[in-house]
Amino acid sequence: MSLSVDISHRLGAFTLEAAFESSGRLTALFGPSGSGKTTLVNLIGGLLRPERGAISCDGRVLVDTASGVFVPKHKRRIGYVFQDARLFPHMTVDQNLRYGRFFAPPTERTGSTADVVDLLGIGHLLDRGPGSLSGGEKQRVAIGRALLASPKLILMDEPLASLDERRKAEIMPYIERLRDETGIPIVYVSHSIAEVARLATDMVVLDAGKVAAAGTAADLLQRLDLLPDEERDEGGAVFEMQVKSRDEAFGMSLLTSPVGEIHVAELDAETGTTVRVRIRARDIMVATERPRGISALNVLPGRIAALGTGTGPFADVTIDCNGQEIAARITRQSAATLGLTLGMAVFAVVKSVTFDRRNTARTAAGASLPRGTTSNPLVS
């Protein structure tokens, strides 16, 4: 499935000019408040008509102002999950779910209500009203309603923004299952790097109504210059690694990938399982010699591929480890003291405690969340 966008639209003094293409399973629209993320998803969903441009999904033209094409929102086969669940308060959960079914022609309906209920673990909620649900439960029902419309694309506009950390942890695994098991592409709006790093395969960075960059999440999350100041400390490298072994005596797991081997606190994942790992730039120490006598277990050899010192207190260092790049943020004073230069052999040092629940998650290649469970067996 591919999504192609090339539009411009003005809302008062604000102008959105966005052009990008994506074929990712989950494309994150990332940027600060006011950058145009919600306006863009509303244009994709047909809630707004652009002044100029075209939008197509899997080759089907949804909008083309040059030829006068504008497919109305109810015919676009797009599911929309808002920040607030927007369930019908006078309907039960079961009735809310079945309402979504009416929007798909009978001959084009995919999946069954039972399948969606099973996928989202909401079977025990069917007879309840929305008023008795938690925020995370409401969002799972809203996702189910969108799925039962048999959409070709799902739009999610900051679905976790109104939830506390506990509820976010509850619903995140179900969004991963949606991404990995349904085959329906997702456009996901967020201003949280932690969410994007865990969920996104692709990423579009918006700034003041323009696309600052578009590409894979793994590539763009290392571009610390693209991130707003309040999120810059959360940027870094994202890798897919496999569980190589488990050390039950110390409660540790050993992960491996071309970047090297990393020790993390024991994961609820069997040997061979693929996991997604985020290494924040601020969590990396740079050494010019292999360290000895330190508590950090993870020491990755590499060479400096890029070095940005700028004029502020920080230096952004890109380290090439076996063809995989790791971003490190240190002080300019440290860079000068170490005498760092391009091509220099160095070691990236990362403490194992860095890999907490926000920085490690199971991927599509790993075992799925047990059907019907509401606990979180992932490590994010």
Q: 186-221: per-residue pLDDT in tens?
A: 999 998 898 999 999 999 999 999 999 999 998 899
Would you state the structure tokens that stand for residue 273, as one six-digit string? 């399982």
What's residue 204's pLDDT?
A: 97
Dump pLDDT digits (tens) for 112-132: 888 889 888 999 999 999 999
Q: How many residues does the chain have?
A: 380
What's residue 361's pLDDT?
A: 65
Q: Percentage of residues in the chain with pLDDT exceeding 70?
A: 93
CA 102 to each of CA 122, 130, 157: distance values in angstroms, whole numbers, following the listed order: 20, 20, 22
Q: List the single range of 301-315, 331-345, 349-363 with lowest mean pLDDT.
A: 349-363
CB 376 within 8 A of CB 169: yes
What's residue 366's pLDDT?
A: 37
What's residue 288's pLDDT?
A: 97
Q: In this structure, are strands 202-207 and 26-30 parallel, antiparallel, or unpaired?
A: parallel
What band does 293 get if pLDDT is binned at 50, 70 and 90? very high
Angle (CA) 191-197-201 rounded to 5° is 105
Dump pLDDT digits (tens) for 50-86: 999 999 998 899 999 999 999 999 888 899 998 888 8
Environment class of 319 (CB within 10 Å of its CB; exposed 0-12, middle 13-18, buried 19+): buried
What's residue 270's pLDDT?
A: 86
For the segment 245-264, the average pLDDT, to the nearest whole number, is 93
CA dist., res. 158 & res. 37, Å (int): 10
Between residues 273 and 305, the one the model is more confident about: 305
In order of their start, the domains of the chain are: 3-234 (3.40.50.300), 237-362 (2.40.50.100)
CB 51 within 8 A of CB 9: yes
What's residue 359's pLDDT?
A: 64
Between residues 356 and 36, the one the model is more confident about: 36
What band does 234 get if pLDDT is binned at 50, 70 and 90? confident
Q: Using the predicted structure, report yes or no on whether residue 367 has a pLDDT greater than 60.
A: no
Q: Using the predicted structure, report yes or no on whether residue 365 has a pLDDT greater than 50.
A: no
What's residue 362's pLDDT?
A: 59
What band does 242 get if pLDDT is binned at 50, 70 and 90? very high
Would you state the structure tokens that stand for residue 223, as one six-digit string? 């571009």
Phi, psi of 337 (to 5 degrees): -65, -40
For the segment 213-238, the average pLDDT, to the nearest whole number, is 86
Q: Using the predicted structure, report yes or no on whether residue 90 has a pLDDT greater than 70.
A: yes
For the segment 256-281, the average pLDDT, to the nearest whole number, is 90
What's residue 358's pLDDT?
A: 62
DSSP string, 75-104: GS-EEEE-SS----TTS-HHHHHHHHHTTS
What's residue 162's pLDDT?
A: 83
What's residue 372's pLDDT?
A: 33
What's residue 363's pLDDT?
A: 59
CA dist., res. 81 & res. 93, Å (int): 15
